[in-house]
Amino acid sequence: MRALRDHLDVQEVSYPATSRARTVAADVLWYPRLRADADVLHCPTFRGPFRARQPLVVTVHDVAVLRHPEWFNRWTATYSRIAVPRVVAAATRVIAVSEFTKRELGSLLRVPAERVRVIPNGVEDVFRPDGPRADGEYVLAVGTLEPRKNLARIAAAVDGELRVVGARGWGGVDPPPNVTWLGDVSDEELARLYRGARCLVYASLYEGYGIPVAEALACGCAIVTTAGSAMEEIAGRDATYVDPASVESIRDGIGRASAPTARRVATWREVAQRTQAVYEEVA
């Protein structure tokens, strides 16, 4: 959002969901009828209007809630089954954060490829190889505590200390007793943790992109992640790939991981420039 404001007149519209009742009200009453006094309406998630009254751009990060509704709470799973197809169908253009997500949109929602623009996520400038490193001999995992992050298997695969960064989420996922749970940390502290880690283990069961993999790559941190996933688009040969359903495969990957040469990844400023091009295309 900050990068877009550098070049465009951006008006932010929101309905603060400060309670469960307000969340339901937003989903049922506000989002489906959403309209803004603007040349283009951009919804950065798939919560948006069911009928476009102006050029509509919708960013889809993943369709996990459709592919695996059992990983989400009942309201999110039920609402998304109704809302996501309608919002995506109403969009003039859909931004997918990876080629994997673009394929999922075609497979699950029959979105024509010509309506989709792939714009990968960016990372903040703080994620770079030079800078302070956290002390200790540890493996790092990053992500909200939710079922698809696969934390129990990751914890079982780590011999030694596992540090976990991420907010408490849903699905009854608690930090395993043998990990050091750090909760949310600043970007500066997270970069320090990437630089000091033996490796990042991001063996998620499903992702549309995988921002921690991009951040780790920018910091020169060794990466262990899921084979056949969207993360391969980010890391290419600079990661060790594993079967996320196998503790032994994850453990073996940790043993084989080696630090890549830090690689530049897209910045949010570049993401904003490509997003602006989509606005110009539909306006």
Sheet holding 56-60, edge to edge: 41-43, 56-60, 93-96, 116-118
Looking at the chain, the whole-number percentage of residues with pLDDT higher than 70 is: 99
Q: Is the pLDDT of residue 243 over 90?
A: yes
Q: Report angle CA 40, 125, 132 to the nearest 5 degrees.
A: 155
Tokens of 258: 């080696």
**133 in any annotated domain:** no
Distance of CA 227 to the CA centre of its chain: 17
Torsion of CA 20, 22, 28, 30, to 10 degrees: -150
Q: What confidence score (pLDDT) does residue 18 get? A: 82
The reply to whether 180 and 246 lie within a common domain is yes
The reply to whether 37 and 113 lie within a common domain is yes
Query: Which range marks the domain in which residue 65 is found?
Result: 2-121+268-282
The reply to whether 78 and 36 lie within a common domain is yes
- Mean pLDDT (whole number) for 88-94: 97
Distance of CA 131 to the CA centre of its chain: 25
- Mean pLDDT (whole number) for 86-95: 97
The reply to whether 86 and 164 lie within a common domain is no
Q: Is the pLDDT of residue 194 over 70?
A: yes
- Mean pLDDT (whole number) for 113-132: 96
The reply to whether 79 and 11 lie within a common domain is yes
Q: Is the pLDDT of residue 1 over 70?
A: no
Structural domains counted in the chain: 2
The reply to whether 148 and 216 lie within a common domain is yes
**131 in any annotated domain:** no
Please give the residue that has the higher pLDDT: either 260 or 107. Answer: 107
- Mean pLDDT (whole number) for 138-151: 96
Please give the residue that has the higher pLDDT: either 132 or 171. Answer: 132
The pLDDT tens digits of the residues spanning 94-121 come to 999 999 999 999 999 999 999 999 999 9
The closest alpha carbon to 251, from 149, 174, 160, 173, belongs to 160
SS3 label, residue 136? coil
Tokens of 123: 């990372």
The pLDDT tens digits of the residues spanning 227-239 come to 999 999 999 999 9
CATH number of the domain to which 151 belongs: 3.40.50.2000
- Mean pLDDT (whole number) for 181-204: 97
Q: Is the pLDDT of residue 50 over 90?
A: yes
Q: 35-39, 78-82, 247-251: lowest mean pLDDT where? A: 35-39
Q: What confidence score (pLDDT) does residue 153 get? A: 97
The reply to whether 181 and 225 lie within a common domain is yes
**112 in any annotated domain:** yes
- Mean pLDDT (whole number) for 251-260: 93
